[in-house]
Structure 1
Amino acid sequence: MASFEKRGTTWRYVFYATVDGKRKKIQKGSFKTKAEARKHASELEAYYNRGFSLDNTVVFHEYFYNWITVNKENKVSHKQFMKYEKMHEYLKAAFPYDLLKDITKPTYQKFLNEYAATHSTDSVRKLNAAVRNVMDDAIHDGLILKNPTYKAVTVGGKESKAANLKYLEYEQYKALKLYLEGMDTLPAHFLLLTLVTGARFSEIQQLKVSDFNFLHNKLHLPGTKTDTSDRTISVDRSTMQRMKHFIDNRPTHITGHVFSHYGTLVSNNTINGTLAAACKELKAISESKVEASGELKKYIDDLKKENKPFKFDKVVTCHALRHTHCSVLIAEGISIHYISKRLGHKNIGVTMSVYSHLLEQSFEKEEEKAIKFLESI
């Protein structure tokens, strides 16, 4: 049972606990009121009674770094792991010597507010999600009692990159697909498969011949981000036949990887370089600086007949094709539950969060349809 005493204008508590087989004095002062000291002592005693360590000296940022090393390194892409390392740098700067057990909800929220001032809401949410997972494991390890990220406010103060720059519109999607289908290179097939599956770069990169089920037009995607991302999805017959032709007419390395050069997996730079070149070519075509050919020319001519000028004004990355795939499915009214599973998200909440702006646009269209239906009754 804790005892309390006033020292000057502040209060402190004292109680004794057995730590590593020895009786140890646990005390802390500088509380403004006795009630505040009593509240903290009660929490600490409850902490002790539940078997948690009162004597741990684990530094917060060090625990975070050890966690990402064990749980993320070699399990996510190098680029993604670098983002976790960047998070660690921010945490180390803000909490250089703070112990894990001393991180409170107010001190953590104060840090989050300062971080949010110069970052977008998306960045703040990702950082908070990582810290939340780390703290959950710390609770499991008996190092802390409460998770300081509980109900953390994660609103950023910086505008995110405009949503329409992160994915292609339907006409642009269709044009890029036709453009890629007119090429017979490894990067073109990589990009085409990304466009029609919405898979992550690393998932396409890791594909092996055995992942393709050409009989049933199914593709096994090796999950590379979460435990739930390993999945099998359906792919349109035309794309699967193109992939079969590509695989059958190209020597397969002993590893079985489809997108590799003599055993070395194709790099993100190579894929994004090809995509950037394709976007610039399509932009030139849309500005009538270059003449389109084949199916692409026919598609653009059909658009003109419908008084729909072809416009391609974006240079996007491979990851934007994942967002594009999702946006096209949402626009077509495909169930968000299906989309979530197809994209390999941990749960539908992730999908709702990432694509909230697209879902809002879909909601507006569905609302018009609903009102029109109700008025017709």
Structure 2
Amino acid sequence: MATFRKHGQGWQVRVSWYDDNNKRHYTSKAGFKTKTDAKAYALELEQKKLDNSISNKKISFVAYYKDWFNTYKANKIADTTANRYKILINVLDKHFGNKALDKITRYDYQIFINEYGKTHAPDSVKKLNAIIRSCVKSAILDDLITKDFTQRVELIWNEERILRVEYLNVQEIGLLITELKKELHPNYPSRYMILTAIFTGMRIGEIAALTWDDINFHWKTININKSWNFNNKRFKKAKTESSNRIIRVNDDLLNVLSDLKQNNTKQVFDSVFGTVPGSGAVNKVLRKVLKQAGISKKNYHFHSLRHSHVALLLYYGVDVYAISKRLGHADLTTTTRKYSYLIDEFKAKSDDHIEDLLNNFSTKKESKKIL
């Protein structure tokens, strides 16, 4: 593959290739007066590749995937996402082994999807397919293959593997809040983090990253502009550009959070012990408090609080578009896809409300004049 760019007063070309050990190499040269000259040089190297002056060994699918991940993805994605990419290496290796990338057909890939889908939920299959499709498109750009073998493949999954996200109804949310407030203590921020999730729908990384200058007690807002990397204990960029947002919060939450000021820490939820509780610690507290509140939810965890926040807003008639902005989604489609099950459940309530509005309207004298 060759890439070209302006370099000073001329052009630079960069060519990549794989050696006999499936290791990728690069060579570059600058000083070409025109892009045409640079292309001619690149074509000359490509010809050498065909003549085996540069290795023309067929790289395996798995080897290319590893190289693609390390080159284009490893340093740009969150650790949790990176783990998903790494796990996929073993999945591909188990099925394809050392099979050459350019020997894989659409049929081969469909068989792979069929086998993987037998034991995985829809979400897992869709994420795997999205990653592989991106990798294959990159291989096409690298001139290693000419066709996209992932194109128009039918995604197969196991319906029984679908894990329904549990959420709390309004009454249960009230019980949880009451139980959380019984044992609040600034030295142990986990309960405060859970309350923040209930009232804001924020992600755990966003909550952990909050600093005191992010909270405006006068205007009753929280400025969400970063996330927290629990592995290296550092701030990182928000999940997406749309994740940067300012949301309104209630007095009750602000009053609770103000208790934490006595810890004299930069981060709101940094304890006197110098650490922000991680997912494991917070979930342990959440399970304990749920049990104390008499709430039994087998698959309920911290991220479920985000779903419960959505359920709470839908219950009180908040517009889905407003909910989408509050959650930091890029568009309404993301919200309706992720929370479709909640929206469907509250549709009946909305339909009843619409019917009542129309009935009240039709009984008024003004409406009778119009009708």
What TM-score, normalized to structure 1?
0.68
Q: How do 1:195-344 and structure 2 match up within 5 A?
A: 195-221=198-224, 222=226, 224-246=238-260, 248-252=261-265, 256-261=266-271, 262-283=273-294, 312-315=295-298, 316-344=300-328
Letter in 2 for 1:360: D
Aligned match of 2:190? 187
Contact 1:196 1:325 in 2 (8 A): yes
Per-residue deviation at 1:146? Answer: 5.2
Cα deviation for residue 139 of structure 1 reads 5.1
Q: Is the contact made by 2:113 and 2:156 (CA closer than 8 Å) also made in structure 1?
A: no
Query: Do structure 1's residue 94 and structure 2's residue 95 form an aligned pair?
Result: yes
Q: Which whole-Å CA distance do the structure 2 matches of 1:233 and 1:136 have between them?
A: 38
Task: Give the counterpart letter for 1:71 in structure 2.
Answer: K
- Matched residue of 2:246: which SS? strand
Give SS of 1:233's match: strand
What is the CA distance between 1:357 and its match in structure 2?
Answer: 1.3
Do the aligned residues in 1 keep the contact of 2:243 with 2:328 (CA within 8 Å)?
yes
Q: Shift of residue 345 of structure 1?
A: 2.5
Match of 1:20 among 45, 48, 59: 45
Relative to structure 1, is the Cα distance of residues 91 and 230 closer, same or farther in structure 2, using a 3 angstrom cutoff?
farther
Partner of 1:156: helix, strand, or coil? coil
Q: Distance in 2 between matches of 1:364 and 1:146?
A: 47
- Matched with 2:122 is 121
Secondary structure of 2:263 counterpart: coil
Residues 142-180 of structure 1: CA deviation (Å, up to 9, x unaligned): 6555544444433421424552x5222221112112222
Partner of residue 5, structure 1: none
Return closer, same or farther for 1:129/1:368 CA change in 2, 3 Å cut-off: farther
Partner AA of 2:203 in structure 1: R
Q: Does 1:356 align with 2:336?
A: no
- CA-CA distance at 1:239 after TM superposition: 0.6
Alignment map for 1:144-183 (pairs within 5 Å): 147-163=148-164, 166-182=166-182, 183=184
1:172-204 superposed Cα distances (whole Å, 9 cap, x missing partner)? 112112222332231111111111111212221
**For residues 59 and 154 of structure 1, do their structure 2 counterparts lie closer, same or farther at Cα, with a shift above 3 Å needed?**
same
Deviation at 1:220, TM superposition (A): 2.2
Identity percentage over the alignment? 28
Answer yes or no: is 1:366 the counterpart of 2:350.
Answer: yes
Taking structure 2 as the reference length, the TM-score comes to 0.69
Greater shift, 145-154 or 183-192, is seen at 145-154
Deviation at residue 231 of structure 1 after TM alignment:
2.3
Distance 1:359 1:352 in 2: 7
SS at match of 1:259: coil
- Which has the larger displacement, 186-195 or 314-323? 314-323
Q: Give 1:37's aligned residue.
A: none
Amino acid corresponding to residue 259 of structure 1 in structure 2: F
Secondary structure in 1 matching 2:222: strand
Corresponding position of 1:296? none
Question: In 1, distance between residues paired with 2:323 and 2:143?
Answer: 38
Partner Cα separation in structure 2 for residue 179 and residue 139 of structure 1:
56
SS state at 1:219 partner:
strand
Report the Cα offset of residue 259 of structure 1: 2.4
Indicate the SS of the match to 1:241: helix
Cα offsets for 1:203-238 (capped at 9, x unmatched): 212222222222212212225433432322222222
Moved more, 94-103 or 216-225: 94-103
Distance (Å, rounded) in 2 between the aligned partners of 1:72 and 1:24: 28
Cα RMSD of the aligned pairs, angstroms, is 3.2
Residues 120, 240 of structure 1: alpha-carbon distance in 2 compared, 3 angstrom cutoff: same
C-alpha distance 71-18 of structure 1, shift in aligned 2 (>3 A): closer
Q: Which amino acid aligns with 2:171?
A: E
Quickly say closer, same or farther: Cα 1:59–1:243, change in 2 above 3 A.
Answer: farther
- Which stretches in structure 1 are left out of the alignment for 5+ residues? 1-16, 27-54, 284-311
Give how far 1:318 is off.
0.7
**Shift of residue 324 of structure 1?**
1.3
Asked whether the equivalents of residues 187 and 274 of structure 1 are also in contact (C-alpha less than 8 Å), the reply is: yes
Contact kept, 8 Å, 2:170 with 2:312, in 1: the verdict is: yes
**Amino acid in the other structure paired with 2:157:** G
**Is the contact made by 1:122 and 1:160 (CA closer than 8 Å) also made in structure 2?**
no
In the aligned structure 2, how far is the partner of 1:235 from the partner of 1:56? 60
Q: Secondary structure at the match of 2:267?
A: coil
Larger CA deviation: 266-275 vs 80-89? 80-89
2:27 is matched with none
